């Protein structure tokens, strides 16, 4: 039962361009959404989050958009840098429950 | 500031042997604690979570168990490992009423 889905397993972007990572969820009880970045053989690191009362949250090059009616969120990275190459997980939480997507591997080419 | 550590970082164990992965959190009291496993193509699967000493909730039936003997210590165990237990295990914590989970470095377990 995948309540959080990242339908694109991989994404390749040129340095300097925008990276857009997408995520869909099914449970309308989720009220907090997060993005994590993960390098190989390391634990995921928290990147950015958004509450369900907002539709946008920005932190430097990273912006998360939330469309509650569509149960969809996205992470925009602009401009993309080679150091952004990693696996990105989206997560959705409600109460003590947090569910993760399967991840999207982002490759930023110089 | 808060820190989380888990060990060992890598482990190679024969089938049928026991397992113990340990995790400790520093810099906070009464955190929520979690064990996740990363499996290929399935993202991060929640195995156990704990909201206090001795309180363990299990998400999926499996060959593993968890214990919380102290406030900031979380242990993942198995009496007899299976080949299918191989994977990358992650300990994590959050504030009692927090929405954000913070992960440890991860432990690679290979069962041979």
Please report, rounded to a whole number, the percentage of residues in chain A having pLDDT higher than 90. Answer: 85
Give the distance, in angstroms, between the CA of residue A110 and the centroid of all CA atoms in the same chain. 22
Average pLDDT over residues B86-104: 91
B41 pLDDT tier (thresholds 50, 70, 90):
low
- Indicate if the pLDDT at residue A15 is higher than 90: yes
Binary contact (A44, B99; C-beta < 8 A): no
User: A85 is written with which tokens?
Assistant: 């190459």
Binary contact (A42, B42; C-beta < 8 A): no
Shortest Cα–Cα distance, A91 to chain B (Å): 9
pLDDT at B39: 76
Quote the CA–CA distance of A17 and A46 in Å, as a whole number. 23
Chain A residues interacting with chain B (CB cutoff of 8 angstroms): 4, 6, 9, 32, 34, 36, 41-46, 49, 89, 91, 93, 96, 98-103
Cβ–Cβ under 8 Å, residues B39 and B46: no
> Nearest-CA neighbor of B90 among B71, B103, B72?
B103
pLDDT at B61: 66
User: B87 is written with which tokens?
Assistant: 């994977």
> Nearest-CA neighbor of B36 among B110, B82, B105?
B105
Please report, rounded to a whole number, the percentage of residues in chain B having pLDDT higher than 90. Answer: 78
User: B73 is written with which tokens?
Assistant: 């210590």
Binary contact (A102, B41; C-beta < 8 A): yes
Quote the CA–CA distance of B43 and A81 in Å, as a whole number. 24
- Indicate if the pLDDT at residue B62 is higher than 80: no
Distances (CA, A) of A98 to A106, B59, B84: 23, 11, 24
- Cα first-last separation, chain A: 38
Considering CB atoms only, which of A41, A99, A100 is closest to B108? A41
Average pLDDT over residues B55-61: 83
Binary contact (A41, B44; C-beta < 8 A): no
Give the distance, in angstroms, between the CA of residue A19 and the centroid of all CA atoms in the same chain. 11
Cβ–Cβ under 8 Å, residues B48 and B56: yes
Binary contact (B102, A46; C-beta < 8 A): yes
Binary contact (B32, A32; C-beta < 8 A): no
């Amino acid at each position: 039962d995948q309540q959080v889905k990242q339908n694109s397993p991989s994404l390749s972007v040129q340095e300097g361009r925008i990276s857009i990572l997408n995520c869909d969820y099914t449970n309308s009880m989720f009220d907090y959404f997060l993005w994590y970045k993960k390098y190989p053989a390391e634990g995921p690191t928290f990147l950015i989050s958004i509450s369900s009362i907002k539709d946008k949250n920005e932190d430097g090059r990273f912006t998360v958009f939330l469309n509650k009616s569509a149960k969809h969120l996205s992470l925009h990275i602009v401009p993309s840098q080679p150091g952004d190459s990693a696996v990105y997980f989206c997560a959705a939480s409600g109460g003590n429950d947090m569910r993760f997507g399967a991840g999207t591997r982002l490759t930023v080419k110089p | 500031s808060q820190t989380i550590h888990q060990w060992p970082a890598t482990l190679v164990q024969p089938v049928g042997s026991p397992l113990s992965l340990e995790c400790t959190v520093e810099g906070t009291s009464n955190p929520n604690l979690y064990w996740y496993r990363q499996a290929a193509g399935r993202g991060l699967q929640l195995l156990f979570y704990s909201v206090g000493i001795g309180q363990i909730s299990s998400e999926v039936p499996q060959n593993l168990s968890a214990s919380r003997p102290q406030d900031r210590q979380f242990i993942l165990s198995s009496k007899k490992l299976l080949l299918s237990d191989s994977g990358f295990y992650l300990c994590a914590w959050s504030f009692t009423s927090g929405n954000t989970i913070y992960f440890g470095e991860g432990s690679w377990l290979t069962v041979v």
